[in-house]
Structure formats: structure tokens, C-alpha cells
Structure 1
Amino acid sequence: MQQNLSDELIRVGNDLRKALENALSTMDGASNWGLLDLLSGNYYMTYTKYHKIESAEVNLAHVKDLARQFECELETFNQSRPNIIDVKPFHTISHYFFDNLYADFLIQGNIAEAKEALREMMRCTENIIRTINHQS
């Protein structure tokens, strides 16, 4: 029974890790387009950046769902839980109206914070999986 529980926990943890990698990848794309937007300031760069951010938000929603599932599995092992990431809104609408350097820096800061939260969640998830593997 305990082995089945640990197998399920590891499976969900690995799914979460993959989702985190995908989310980080899309956030990297948003960050790169954000830098181009900072340098050029044209509408196309802003639009493309937000297209990347929308893709990242879809991935973040998937990460949050898997993190909740992972938390439920962790309760059976009394392990510490990874913090579910809470990403600040990216202020999309206001940025289109007030597309300026300040707004671009604000968005880049939000992206950087989200990436750091994802990296921290990745480290925590990997540590928990490693611990469960050693206990099995």
C-alpha cells in the first residue's frame, strides 16, 4: 500500500516537474520578447510579448492544478508542501494604453518574479521526490 502511494506521489511529482519546465520555457520566451519590447517599444513587440505571456499563464494554471494534486499526495507522507505560485497580473490592458518604459520595466519585473517562483517550486518538488525515493 505504502509503495503504491509513493509511486503515485512520484508520478504526480514528475508531472509537476515537467509542467514547471514548460512554464519556465514559456516565461523565458515572454522575458526575451519583453527585452525586445524594452529596446524597440513598437506595438508588434508588445503584442508578441503578451501572446507569450498568455501562453505562460495557461502553463501556470496547469502547474497550479498539478501542485494542488501533489499537495494532496504529500499529505499521506507528512512532507512539507511546495508553495503554490502566485503570479502577479501582468497588467496587459493598461500596458497597451500606457506603453512606455515604466510599464515595460514593470512587466519585466513581474516576469522575473514569476520565473524565480517557478525555479523555487522546481527545487522544492525535486527535493521532495528525492526524499520519497530514498524512503522507498
Structure 2
Amino acid sequence: MDQYKEMREVKQQTETVLALIEEALKKLNSASNWGLYDILGGGMISSIIKRNRMKDSNQLLHEIEAALRKLQAEYGDIELFLPEKFYFDFSTEFFDVWFDNIFTDLSVQSNLKRTKKQLEALQEQIFELDQAVAEALSN
């Protein structure tokens, strides 16, 4: 396979990863917004919506992980780290939704913030790789 074709495949894969990251960030922002509402006096409904957004972002993190594996296979000498996924255990979700206490809400909000920062850092890495590949293709 020629180098130009390989670089095009890397470029295509970086664009796929960037699109997935953007979608995951939207879900995380939505979950965070619902989390703030939940902290400020929301109730069971806001907790359920927040949890659903978190589950959606977790699914996207799985998709990003698969896309990153493919990207690393295409462009072997990069090391990328995926943000931690949310761990959904029954007790945390139960306390968040049914007892809706401030301590659980703050803990969840902290996890959302950490995951968002990690995902933004990954986005920056992929964007830089995308720009480098685009420059190599234009030469």
C-alpha cells in the first residue's frame, strides 16, 4: 500500500474520532447541565435525565475506544489515552435518583468535569494529528 493511501486512511480515521468526541462532549455537557440543575434543586426527573446522558456518553466512549484502536493500527507510533468511563453501580444510581442528595450530586458532577477535561485533552491530541496528516497530504 502506498504511503499517500495510508495517510488518507489515517486522515479519515482522525475525522471519525473527532466527530465521535464532539458528540460525546455534547452529551457530557448536557449531563453536566442537568447535574447543575439537579444540585440546585432538581428532583428525580433531572437525575434520570442526567444519568441517561451519562449512559449515552459512555456508549460514545466505547465507540471512541474502538475508533482509536483502528487509528493506532493505521498509524502505529501514537499513544492515545481514553478518558475513564463512568462506572454505573446500583447503589450510586439509586442514591442519585431516589434519595437525590447533594453529596451524590456533587460527586457525579465532579466525575463529569474530570471526564470532560480528559476528553478535551484527547480531542486536542487527535486534532493535532489530523492537522499534521493534512499537512503531509498537501505536500
| TM-score of the pair, normalised by structure 1 | 0.89
Partner of 1:66: 67
Note the aligned Cα RMSD (angstroms): 1.6
One-letter amino acid of the counterpart of residue 129, structure 1? D
1:38–1:105 CA contact under 8 A, matched in 2? yes
1:34–1:104 CA contact under 8 A, matched in 2? yes
SS in 1 for 2:87: coil
Gaps of 5+ in 1: none
2:35–2:50 CA contact under 8 A, matched in 1? yes
Which has the higher mean CA deviation after the structures are superposed, 60-69 or 25-34?
A: 60-69
Shift of residue 112 of structure 1?
A: 0.5
User: Aligned runs of 1:90-105 on 2, under 5 Å?
Assistant: 90-91=88-89, 93-97=91-95, 98-105=99-106
User: Aligned runs of 1:104-115 on 2, under 5 Å?
Assistant: 104-115=105-116
* Count of residues in correspondence between the two structures: 133
Shift of residue 61 of structure 1?
A: 1.1
One-letter amino acid of the counterpart of residue 82, structure 1? L
SS in 2 for 1:84: coil
1:41–1:100 CA contact under 8 A, matched in 2? no
Percent identical among aligned pairs is 21
SS in 1 for 2:40: helix
Gaps of 5+ in 2: none
SS in 1 for 2:116: helix
One-letter amino acid of the counterpart of residue 12, structure 1? Q
One-letter amino acid of the counterpart of residue 30, structure 1? A
Shift of residue 99 of structure 1?
A: 2.8
1:85 counterpart = 2:104: no
One-letter amino acid of the counterpart of residue 55, structure 2? E
User: Aligned runs of 1:1-136 on 2, under 5 Å?
Assistant: 1-75=2-76, 78=77, 80-91=78-89, 93-97=91-95, 98-136=99-137
| TM-score of the pair, normalised by structure 2 | 0.87
Moved >3 Å (runs of 4+): 90-93
